Amino acid sequence: MLVSLVGLPGGGKSTVGRQLARRIGATFLDSDAVIEERIGMPIRSFFEQFGEASFRDKEAAVIDELTREADRGRTVLATGGGALLRPINRQLLRDRSTVVYLRSSPEELFRRLKHDTQRPLLQVKDPLAKLKELYEQRHPLYEETAHYSVDTGRPSVATLVNMIIMQLEVAGLLERSPDTRWDKPSSAGH
């Protein structure tokens, strides 16, 4: 079983993905980390030297590979925020995994990312305007591709993880576990 997390940069795909994997006993994969390993440099440097289109080529190859592995066990995959720009990635992720959209507003992301220096697309004069533009462009793609969505606005990471687990249980993709029962308050704490 493969669960993929999609959404704008800063929405918590890696953090939530790692904790979700721990909770359900899954392997955690991060496509950006795999790409960095392959290209042997930070994504930001690769963008500067080779441009965004080359990065998207590497990204598409890695997504194909990571979603293809046939007899894997449970796996959680965090994708890069721009992975769904290419239609082939949208199709592969939707066909080969259960896609969860971590939905965040540009304002919320700006609060989290205003001091970020690693994300090439946000190294601009007005990062909030850029996040709004990315949201306009990408929100429909995330919605179209995702099987489920969760709002990242208020809940803690533990609560977001519980919400995703419940959705997977209701869909019959995970067995119901005693600590995610509807009628019991969350045991994960805050």
DSSP string, 103-145: E--HHHHHHHHTT--S-GGG-SS-HHHHHHHHHHHHHHHHHHH
108 binds ligand S3P (CB under 6 A): no
164 binds ligand S3P (CB under 6 A): no
Task: For the beta carbon of residue 101, count every other beta carbon within 10 angstroms.
Answer: 26
Query: What is the DSSP secondary structure assignment for residue 79, as one 8-state letter?
Result: P
Identify residues 63-92 at the interface with ligand S3P (CB under 6 A). Answer: 80-82
Stretch binding ligand S3P (CB under 6 A), from 65-73, 116-124, 162-170, 172-180:
116-124
| Contact status, residue 2 vs residue 93, Cβ threshold 8 Å | no
Alpha carbon distance 105, 46 (integer Å) = 28
CB of 12 to ligand S3P, least distance (A): 10
CB of 119 to ligand S3P, least distance (A): 5
CB of 95 to ligand S3P, least distance (A): 21
43 binds ligand S3P (CB under 6 A): yes
Residues lying near ligand S3P in the complex (CB under 6 A) are found at 9, 13, 32, 43, 80-82, 119-121
